[in-house]
Amino acid sequence: MGTFDLVEKMGHEQVVYCHDKNTGLKAIIAIHDTTLGPALGGTRMWDYASDEAALTDVLRLSRGMTYKAAVAGLNLGGGKAVIIGDPRKLKSEGLFRSFGRFVNGLSGRYITAEDVNINVRDIEHVSAETKYVTGISSRPGGSGDPSPVTAWGVYCGIKASVKERLRKDSLSGLRVAVQGVGAVGSYLCGYLAKDGVKLVISDIDQAKLQKIAAETGAKIVADNEIFTADVDVFAPCALGAILNDETISILKAPVVAGGANNQLQDETRHGKMLREKNVLYAPDYVINAGGLINVYNELVGYNAEKARNQASSIYDTLLSVFHEAEKQNIPTHQASNVIAERRISSVRSIAGLRNSYNNQPWVRG
């Protein structure tokens, strides 16, 4: 499938390729839909196997941001950016400032923030060249690292999922397997441990694992054992595509609710597989919307307590998704898409009516 065919299939408005020979910058910015507002989504840096793999990732991620904002009730569209290369070797002030100039050239259609392998310092370099940046702690009104709010939203989403699937109002005594104890996963472990949850954790970083285990009493297992752990909830908080033919077949948990993006390797097939196995899946872009909620609050006037309280609404949002799935007899990820598309469609129709009204001769006077 050609690039334009892929872009058209996924419904994107704009895809921008960015290149700067002097700094080694190779990046792709994808703007999916701006019906509800400017496209907001983080920038991640990854050493992709190919440019095609980077394009596929950024297109999926940006589309997910559109749905995430729509379901969360935010006046934002969906966008995402990927910088191609090894973050351990390629990072520099010049590279991020060069990227910032490309972001600035979009004149506010895309607003960026941090994502995988991008920290607050990197984003501050981007902000030297553009104002279309969020999540900067040094800027007055900046929110800084969104991970605590993202993790809080995931924690609330786990509570909603447990309420729906296990009919329990409390997490105390339950067993939760957290795959990935990075920025979001580590905060999530802290919230869960305070609630009396028995944790099982895995990660490629042994130092992080030891630290979290010491703080929470979590049991450490190998990454390939996390799927077969005898737990109530599996919470993937690493990279995507981890719900696939192999892992779903061995998964023991009756609930999947975690912070990773694009958890379903194949949205249609693997969402259906989970449903057929009677595993309740909390759609990733719904449960991990806390980070987007956090940076959105920065745009409208940041208040940490307000952002956290708004992220708590993920509990009710997920219950609505579960009920929609039950009503329509469809997988939960499809139900969340329906809710998102319903809101986008309603706003798009209002915009059409507004344009039609403004074009009438009596309006122009």
With bands split at pLDDT 50, 70 and 90, how would you rate the model's confidence at 114? confident
Beta strand 255-256 pairing with 280-281: parallel
pLDDT, mean of residues 223-246: 93
User: Which of these, 99, 107, 108, 123, lies nearest to 77 by C-alpha position?
Assistant: 108
272 is catalytic: no
Contact (Cβ atoms closer than 8 angstroms) between residue 264 and residue 271 = yes
How many other CB atoms are found less than 10 A from the CB of residue 308? 18
What pLDDT, on a 0 to 100 scale, did the predictor assign at position 22?
97
Do residues 182 and 203 touch, judged by C-beta distance below 8 A? yes
Task: Determine the Cα–Cα distance for residues 92 and 96; give it in Å rounded to an integer.
Answer: 7
Average pLDDT score over residue span 109-126: 91
Report yes or no: 257 and 286 within 8 Å, Cβ to Cβ: no
Structure confidence at residue 140 (pLDDT): 52
What is the C-alpha separation between 143 and 263, in angstroms, rounded? 27
User: Can you read off the two tokens belonging to residue 47?
Assistant: 């050493």
Q: Which of 206, 208, 157 is nearest to 182 (CA)?
A: 208
The C-alpha angle 22, 26, 27, rounded to 5 degrees, equals: 135
Which one from 26, 80, 91, 198 is the annotated catalytic residue? Answer: 80
**Structure tokens of 312?**
């708590």
For 301-322, what is the mean pLDDT? 93
The predicted model gives 202-222 an average pLDDT of 96
Using pLDDT thresholds of 50, 70 and 90, give the confidence band for residue 321. very high
Tell me which of 147 and 176 has the higher pLDDT: 176
pLDDT(25) > 60: yes
pLDDT category at 303 given cuts 50, 70, 90 is confident
In this prediction, residue 145 carries a pLDDT of 74
If you average pLDDT over residues 243-265, what whole number do you get? 95
As a residue count, the chain comes to 365
Across 124-145, average pLDDT: 78
Q: Count CB neighbours of 219 within 10 A.
A: 14
Average pLDDT for residues 27-38, to the nearest whole number?
96
Query: Which CATH fold would you assign to the domain 147-340?
Result: Rossmann fold (3.40.50)
Q: Is the pLDDT of residue 262 over 60?
A: yes
Residue 163 bridge partners (DSSP): none
Q: Transcribe 271-316 into DSSP letters.
A: HHHHHHTT-EE--HHHHTTHHHHHHHHHHH---HHHHHHHHHTHHH
Please give the CATH number for the structural domain made up of 3-66+76-127.
Answer: 3.40.50.10860
pLDDT value at position 146?
80
Q: Report the Cα–Cα distance between both ends of the chain, in Å, rounded.
A: 50
346 CB neighbour count, 10 Å cutoff: 11
Between β-strands 14-20 and 25-33, what pairing exists: parallel, antiparallel or unpaired?
A: antiparallel
Nearest to 46, CA basis, from 79, 87, 16: 87
pLDDT recorded at residue 327: 96
Q: Given this chain, do its domains 3-66+76-127 and 147-340 carry the same CATH topology? A: yes
On the question of pLDDT at 354 being above 60, the answer is no
Q: Inform me whether the pLDDT recorded for 360 exceeds 70.
A: no
Q: Do 170 and 208 contact (CB within 8 A), yes or no? A: no
The two structure tokens encoding residue 233: 């909830």
Q: Which of the pair, 349 or 189, is modelled with greater confidence?
A: 189
User: DSSP secondary structure string, 124-144?
Assistant: HHHHTT-S-B---TTSTT---
pLDDT given at position 348:
85
Q: What is the pLDDT of residues 69-82, one digit of tens each?
A: 999 999 999 999 99
pLDDT of residue 364: 42
- Cβ proximity of 314 and 286 under 8 Å: yes
- Write down the domain spans for the chain: 3-66+76-127, 147-340
